[in-house]
Amino acid sequence: MLQLKALDHVGLKVRDLDKTLHFYQQLGLTVLRTKGPDSAGLRFAVLQVGSQELNVSCRPDYMSQGQDNAVGIDHFCFEVAATSIDEVVASLKSAGIEVSGAPMERRDSTALLLFDPDGVKVELQLKNSMIPAPSTASTSQGQKG
């Protein structure tokens, strides 16, 4: 039987490659390579997050879907490393990225929603296991002798 190991990459079609690269770089993704434009105006970039990639293509004839409930990708999610969801929100705010709504508590995480420059929903998820446990400082009392 077929056994999938991992998600290798996600491909996005965007209208403005420069705005899109800026947005995802503000989230901490690294641009691995870019190419284009070719004769059809296609520009392409590969960004890295962890061991996965986000492949982004841009062509003059790409248009937004412009319909609510359109078929296609609903969202994708990045797992973040932080000490709290407030730290994530502050980091986004300092990067000029707007959070859509309040943090959402999930079974094993807290999540935030953002929208990239083309309106693609991006979820940031802080797993409960990623939040350091409060330190329990033990106080040792000296013995009187």
Residue 21 within a domain: yes
What pLDDT does residue 138 have?
A: 46
Q: Classify residue 38 as exposed, middle or buried by CB count within 10 Å of its CB (0-12, 13-18, 19+).
A: exposed
Read off the pLDDT of residues 108-141 as tens digits, 9 standing for 90 and up. 899 999 999 988 899 999 988 766 655 555 444 4
What domain range includes position 101? 73-131
Q: Do residues 122 and 77 share a domain? A: yes
Q: Are 105 and 127 found together in one domain?
A: yes
Residue-level pLDDT at 62: 82
The reported pTM is 0.75
Which pLDDT belongs to residue 143? 45
Q: How confident is the model at residue 20 (pLDDT cuts 50, 70, 90)?
A: very high
Whether 53 contacts 32, CB under 8 Å: yes
68, part of any domain: no
Compute how many other C-beta atoms are within 10 angstroms of the C-beta atom of residue 130. 14
Determine, yes or no, domain membership for 143. no
Confidence of residue 71 (pLDDT cuts 50, 70, 90): low
Which CATH number goes with the domain that contains 22?
A: 3.10.180.10
Which backbone phi and psi does 16 adopt, to 5 degrees? Answer: -135, 100
